[in-house]
């Protein structure tokens, strides 16, 4: 690590939500040995947002990095495995009313090539089966409620993510981080002090008086206390593409037969979509909607109706969302992480992935050059590309929807501007061109892999109508064979519930 004169040894994280505690864990794990002191200050009167139960596969890298095994953390957080996300009712096209966004690994290379081949032929208006669900083992695993933990005989390596309780994961990381030296203060910041040069000097709290530091991490959630309210970094809303600004959430009991899904369900409703996330003790459900199209009470009623809870006393939690990002996440001696830096609605459960990326990139660059403006600019540019890349992909779900039951869905498709990246992708796809080359040419601006792009375009049925017969000499993969291959692999994967029980026993041993 470069030992520059500007090295900041005292780091204050303000905010103890998942973002704050993930940041604390990463910092203390790698930097405590270099003499850094990490303090986390959180307000018990304000509390945390308390949602955020789905992840991407990157979360595995987080726990690997800090050296915590699944048996150590998952049972404490009521965590389950996530093979992918299923999207029913976004498309009305016959045969495409639902599709599944899988997690995949190098072991899926063969099926992926087969899927690309068939999807490319179908996009050239040839009558070939190209629904992504047929090609990915992950989809079959989720369909049978199995865990993505193959036995050794399979020779298969699965990629996957997790679901977990948002409050319990924060508690787990709090215990883990404080045991390794993170100082924990409970207090509410009522003033932020700034040096003459504009850097942040410290924060004031009634409970602890002045708390000073050399470097600050803003994890204050949507309050954005340091980066937004103190340093006045402008916020760029994503409203023209993503107009959901609210959510209502409530739990439901697990299925009576004792089985446990290993996927997130993201079903489109009249004015948005509802997530259904399985934990080991309950389902988390939440309707993400636009308040311009439906009011809070009607949204709650639609969610209750969907969940069969119309007459249930179970309480609903209503939330507002600020969707967009700050222009720069690292400004002066302050890095914003989590909801304080920005948020893209949770359709692909990407928020904690961006937390990880932000802290990772900051640490890498800081280790190389301290506070050099060049590195700060580089980190900011990369974070913005990630936000904008995720926004583009999430927006594509709305742009490709074919529902016409409400003005909401019509406007989501027709009254939203194409981003330049999506415009090029759709142009190439719609003319049956070489999508892979197009995506490769956009690699620097893309967060999602070509496989994810093929899945969404094919899965939502964006194909020409009335396809013709393919010529004899083109290679076509038959769905029955793909199904047979994937179904043949299922014997190597355990039942999801049983796999989690085994994890619990391993932890207890
Ligand atoms: C509806 C919804 C669904 C979501 N689903 C997902 C998902 O599936 N997957 C995913 O990855 N993410 C999801 N997210 C995002 C996820 O919830 C957050 O990214 C994550 O919880 C981190 O939040 P945070 O720590 O940034 O903020 P918060 O949890 O809001 O924490 C803010 C912290 O700052 C503290 N604070 C605020 N002001 C002060 C002050 N003045 N003084 C002291 N402390 C202060 C608070 O007390 C709290 O500790 C979802 C978000 C929403 C709104």
Looking at domain 10-53+165-239+323-373, its CATH superfamily turns out to be FAD/NAD(P)-binding domain (3.50.50.60)
The finding on whether 42 has its CB within 6 A of some atom of ligand 1 is yes
Give the residue among 193, 176, 187, 269 at the shortest CA–CA distance from 230.
Answer: 193
For ligand 1, whether the C-beta of 219 sits within 6 Å is: yes
Helix or strand run (H / E) with residue 38: strand 37-42
Residue with CA closest to ligand 1 atom 16: 52
pLDDT value of residue 57: 97
pLDDT at 350: 98
Cβ neighbours, 10 Å, residue 200: 25
Residue 5 has a pLDDT of 36
Domain ranges of the chain: 10-53+165-239+323-373, 106-159+418-492, 246-320
Contact 339 CB / ligand 1 (< 6 Å) = yes
Residue of 9, 33, 58, 82 with catalytic role: 82
Q: At 384, is the secondary structure helix, strand, or coil? A: helix
Catalytic residue flag (residue 82): yes
| Ligand 1, pocket-test mutation among 14, 40, 48, 337, most atoms within 8 A of CB | 48
Type and span of the H or E element at 15: none
Q: What is the per-residue DSSP string for 254-316?
A: PPTT-----SEEEEE-SSEEEEEEE-SS-EEEEEEE-TTTS-HHHHHHHHHHHHT-TT--PPP
Asked whether 221 lines ligand 1 (CB < 6 A), one says yes
Within the chain, which residues score under 70 in pLDDT? 1-8
Contact 105, 154 (CB under 8 A): no
Contacts of 47 (CB under 8 A, 6+ apart): none
Q: What atom of ligand 1 comes closest to residue 350's alpha carbon?
A: 11
Cα–ligand 1 centroid distance for 52 (angstroms) = 8
| Pocket lining: 14 vs ligand 1, CB cutoff 6 Å | yes
Give 310-329 pLDDT, tens digit per residue: 999 999 999 999 999 999 99
Question: Is the CB–ligand 1 distance for residue 43 below 6 Å?
Answer: yes
Take atom 5 of ligand 1 and give the residue whose Cα is closest: 52
* φ/ψ of residue 400, rounded to 5: -90, 0
Residue 40 host element (H or E): strand 37-42
* pLDDT score, position 7: 58
Nearest to 329 by CA among 357, 364, 369: 357
- Exposure string (b/e) for 40-61, b if CB count within 10 Å is 16 or more? bbbbeeeebbebbbbbbbbbee
pTM across the whole model: 0.97
For the CA of 189, the closest atom of ligand 1 is 42
Pairing assessment for the beta strands 209-212 and 272-278 based on DSSP bridges: unpaired
Integer Cα distance of 391 and 419 in angstroms: 10
Whole-number pLDDT of residue 481: 96
């Amino acid at each position: 690590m470069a030992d520059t004169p500007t090295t900041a040894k005292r780091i204050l994280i303000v905010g103890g939500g998942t973002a704050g505690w993930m940041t604390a864990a990463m910092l203390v794990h790698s930097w405590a040995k270099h003499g850094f002191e990490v303090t986390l200050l959180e307000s018990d009167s304000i509390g945390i947002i308390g949602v955020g139960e789905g992840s991407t596969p990157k979360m595995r890298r987080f726990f690997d990095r800090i050296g915590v095994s699944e048996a150590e953390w998952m049972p404490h957080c009521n965590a389950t495995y996530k093979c992918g996300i299923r999207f029913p009712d976004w498309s009305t096209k016959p045969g495409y009313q639902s599709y599944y966004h899988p997690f995949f690994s190098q072991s899926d290379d063969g099926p992926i090539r087969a899927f690309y081949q068939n999807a490319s032929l179908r996009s050239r208006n040839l009558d070939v089966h190209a629904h992504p669900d047929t090609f990915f083992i992950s989809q079959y695993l989720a369909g049978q409620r199995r865990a993505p933990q193959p036995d050794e005989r399979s020779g298969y390596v699965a990629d996957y993510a997790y679901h977990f309780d948002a409050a319990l994961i924060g508690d787990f990381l709090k215990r883990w981080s404080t045991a390794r030296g993170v100082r924990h203060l409970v207090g509410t910041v009522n003033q932020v002090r700034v040096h003459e040069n504009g850097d942040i000097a410290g924060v004031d709290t009634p409970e602890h008086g002045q708390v000073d530091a050399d470097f600050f991490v803003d994890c204050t959630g949507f309050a954005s206390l340091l980066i937004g309210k103190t340093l006045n970094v402008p916020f760029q809303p994503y409203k023209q593409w993503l107009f959901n600004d609210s959510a209502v959430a409530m739990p439901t009991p697990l299925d009576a037969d004792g089985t446990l899904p290993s996927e997130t369900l993201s079903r489109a409703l009249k004015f948005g979509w509802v997530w259904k996330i399985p934990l080991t003790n309950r389902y988390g459900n939440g309707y993400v909607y636009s308040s311009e199209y439906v009011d809070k009470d009607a949204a709650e009623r639609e969610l209750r109706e969907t969940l069969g809870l119309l007459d249930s006393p179970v309480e609903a939690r209503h939330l507002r969302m600020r969707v967009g990002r700050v222009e720069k996440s690292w400004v002066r001696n302050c890095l914003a992480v989590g909801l304080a830096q920005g948020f893209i609605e949770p359709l692909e459960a990407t928020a904690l992935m961006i937390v990880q990326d932000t802290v990772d990139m900051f640490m890498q660059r800081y280790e190389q050059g301290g506070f050099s403006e060049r590195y700060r600019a580089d980190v900011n540019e990369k974070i913005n590309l990630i936000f904008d890349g995720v926004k583009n992909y999430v927006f594509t779900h709305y742009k490709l929807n074919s529902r016409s039951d409400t003005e909401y869905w019509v406007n989501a498709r027709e009254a939203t501007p194409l981003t330049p990246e999506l415009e090029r992708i759709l142009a190439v796809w719609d003319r049956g061109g070489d999508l892979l080359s197009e995506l490769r040419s956009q690699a620097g601006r893309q967060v999602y892999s070509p496989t994810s792009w093929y899945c969404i375009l094919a899965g939502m049925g964006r194909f020409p109508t009335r396809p013709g017969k393919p010529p004899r000499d083109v290679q076509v993969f038959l769905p029955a064979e793909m199904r047979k291959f994937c179904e043949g692999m299922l014997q190597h994967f355990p039942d999801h519930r049983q796999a989690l029980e085994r994890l619990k026993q391993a932890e207890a041993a």
